[in-house]
């Protein structure tokens, strides 16, 4: 069974918005020399989430699509790890709040992705 097209489009848009917001956050993080590596890891994880998600959509075989979705979920969970690290670190409150908001969205997106994989909806 395929996930409803509207749901797929919504998830696609949310993942894209998530990656864009992470990119904005990492630009702020990278302004500080000591947090450049953290920002780089976070940005790469978010971008790889989108790359894998898009790869799954273009896959012709279900096994390839499922594998790409699992990779997208893995990168999304990695993004969540880095966002939690920002929350626990001594960054300015504004950055910590932005990271917290993004962590909540990452958790919601991961839950939707897990549910879709479990139920075979994608």
In the chain, where the domains are located? 5-119
Per CATH, the number for 5-119 is 1.20.1440.60
Distance of alpha carbon 66 from alpha carbon 100, whole angstroms: 29
* Residue 14 pLDDT > 60: yes
Mean pLDDT of 32-40: 87
CA distance 20 to 88: 22
Residue 1 pLDDT > 80, yes or no?
A: no
Closest alpha carbon to 80 in 12, 30, 24, 18 = 18
Please give the average per-residue pLDDT across 76-99, as a whole number. 95
Give yes or no for residue 78 having a pLDDT over 50: yes
């Amino acid at each position: 069974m395929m996930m409803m097209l509207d749901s797929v489009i919504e998830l696609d848009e949310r993942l894209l918005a998530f990656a864009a917001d992470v990119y904005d956050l990492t630009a702020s993080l990278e302004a500080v020399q000591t947090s450049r590596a953290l920002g780089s890891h976070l940005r790469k994880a978010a971008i790889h989430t989108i790359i894998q998600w898009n790869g799954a959509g273009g896959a012709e075989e279900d096994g390839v699509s499922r594998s790409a979705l699992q990779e997208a979920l893995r990168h999304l969970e990695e993004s969540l790890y880095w966002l939690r690290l920002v929350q626990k670190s001594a960054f300015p409150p504004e950055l910590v709040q932005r990271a917290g908001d993004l962590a909540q969205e990452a958790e919601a997106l991961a839950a939707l992705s897990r549910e879709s994989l479990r139920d075979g909806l994608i």
